[in-house]
Amino acid sequence: DLSLKEAFKKDFYVGAALNNRQISGQDANSIALVKQQFNTISPENLLKWEAVHPQPDKYNFKPADDYVAFGQANKMFTIGHTLMWHQQTPKWVFEDADGKPASREMLLKRLEEHINTVVGRYKGKIAGWDVLNEAIDDQLGDLRKTKWLEILGEDFAAKAFEYAHKADPKAELYYNDYSLYRPEKRAGVIKLVKSLQAKGIKVAAIGMQGHYGLTKPSIEQVEASIVAFSQLGVHVNFTELDIDVLPNPSRRQGADIAETFGADAKYNVYTTGLPDSVQQQLTKRYADLFALFHKHRDVIDRITLWGVTDADSWLNNWPIRGRTSYPLLFDRKYQPKPAFQAVVQAA
């Protein structure tokens, strides 16, 4: 059988996010799949600020070093994620020694030092960085109200991109976000990227995370954003693809669950395995998405799945713990699912 990377060799890279267990050698089965199937990797958590730089004067480079070494050894297009985000960033970053809000000068200095240290360490080895993650508000498409905006002001994004470019001029720099098929959010990202471009900053690609459901968003909605972003002269990547087959209790307070599974249903509905009918929906969903990606292969450089097997997926714990979801292309026994075959055939 063709592997994913072979099937899409002429189109784009195909990859997966790796976790600490895989990187530290505790999941040999997953690593074997990664080597066989993928030619790009992303770090699920280990390069986030809280992981790599937990205290002001303490960096924790071991997992990241191992991750980058794995990418180098296997000639993979190695991604860094992420330099500026409002989550998984320690509180101290935004505070002075007395616990008061940091000044603009203090925070800029910290940001520059962090980016220079982390990006500089992997210069020439990490090929592309998610410089800025999730900076656009879901509803309005305005800049999200974060500490970065509050303390630095509107040029926070430009600063992060400038520091990253200085630390590794050859690395590709990305803006990454979710729900970018939403018209308001799409418009917000376009505005942000244009403002960066007007300052002479090169945004190599917009990363559409791709945390999708079985039916939403529609293929047309996703396509509209691919097209709109490509008109900015940037590439488009799908950076955290997974398809949640479960209802999402946080979004509509259980309304989805009741509608789909009846009033008595709980959120964790497929504990003993995925019913065939849902497996088929998942397969079709992946096939439709990869057909869309293939169609837009000229602007798409990379498709990255957010995990290797269903067992690894963050969706087993999000938005609440104790879910059993089936969002990826390999099952809990490391076997390809029907969706895998469908994806290979979409090439």
Alpha helices for 168-275 (secondary structure H): 183-198, 219-230, 249-252, 255-261
Give min distance, CB of 130 to ligand XIL, in A: 7
Strand (E) positions, the chain?
13-18, 40-43, 77-84, 128-133, 172-177, 205-208, 211-213, 235-244, 300-305
Using CB under 6 A, pick the residue from 223, 314, 336, 338 that binds ligand XIL: 314
Joined together, the tokens standing for residue 50 give 């809280």
Q: Judged by CB under 6 A, does residue 179 bind ligand XIL?
A: no
Q: Judged by CB under 6 A, does residue 133 bind ligand XIL?
A: yes
What are 215's strand-pairing partners? none
Instruction: Please give the residues from 192 up to 221 whose contact with ligand XIL meets the rule CB under 6 A.
Output: 209
Q: Judged by CB under 6 A, does residue 279 bind ligand XIL?
A: no
Q: Which pairing describes strands 128-133 and 205-208: parallel, antiparallel, or unpaired?
A: unpaired
Give min distance, CB of 207 to ligand XIL, in A: 9
Residues 235-254: x/- map of binding to ligand XIL (CB under 6 A)? -----x--------------
Q: Judged by CB under 6 A, does residue 59 bind ligand XIL?
A: no
Give min distance, CB of 210 to ligand XIL, in A: 10
Asked if 291 contacts 279 with a C-beta cutoff of 8 angstroms, the reply is: no
Q: Judged by CB under 6 A, does residue 334 bind ligand XIL?
A: no
> Using CB atoms, what's the residue nearest to ligand XIL?
314
Question: Site size for ligand XIL, by CB under 6 A?
Answer: 6
Asked if 55 contacts 90 with a C-beta cutoff of 8 angstroms, the reply is: yes
DSSP, residue by residue, 266-280 = -S---TT---HHHHH
Residues in the chain, how many? 347
Asked if 177 contacts 135 with a C-beta cutoff of 8 angstroms, the reply is: yes
- Out of 134, 150, 162, 259, the active site residue is 134
Residue 240 among the catalytic residues: yes
Q: How far is CA 113 from the centre of its chain?
A: 24
Give the helix/strand (H/E) hosting 212: strand 211-213
Q: How far is CA 261 from the centre of its chain?
A: 29
CB nearer to ligand XIL: give 314 or 334: 314
Give the helix/strand (H/E) hosting 71: helix 62-73
Nearest to 343 by CA among 326, 324, 330, 325: 330
CB nearer to ligand XIL: give 133 or 283: 133
- Out of 113, 172, 240, 259, the active site residue is 240
Give min distance, CB of 42 to ligand XIL, in A: 9
Give min distance, CB of 56 to ligand XIL, in A: 23
Quickly tell me which residue has 């730089």 as its tokens.
53
CB nearer to ligand XIL: give 260 or 317: 317
CB nearer to ligand XIL: give 44 or 301: 44
Q: Judged by CB under 6 A, does residue 44 bind ligand XIL?
A: yes
Q: Judged by CB under 6 A, does residue 45 bind ligand XIL?
A: yes
The CA-based angle 118-93-314, given to 5 degrees, is 70
Give min distance, CB of 85 to ligand XIL, in A: 7
Give the chain's end-to-end CA distance (angstroms, integer).
13
Task: Please give the DSSP secondary-structure letter assigned to residue 17.
Answer: E
Asked if 207 contacts 130 with a C-beta cutoff of 8 angstroms, the reply is: yes
CB nearer to ligand XIL: give 267 or 314: 314
Instruction: Please give the residues from 1 up to 40 whose contact with ligand XIL meets the rule CB under 6 A.
Output: none
CB nearer to ligand XIL: give 132 or 346: 132
Q: What residues act catalytically?
A: 134, 240
The residues that touch ligand XIL, with contacts defined as CB under 6 A, are: 44-45, 133, 209, 240, 314
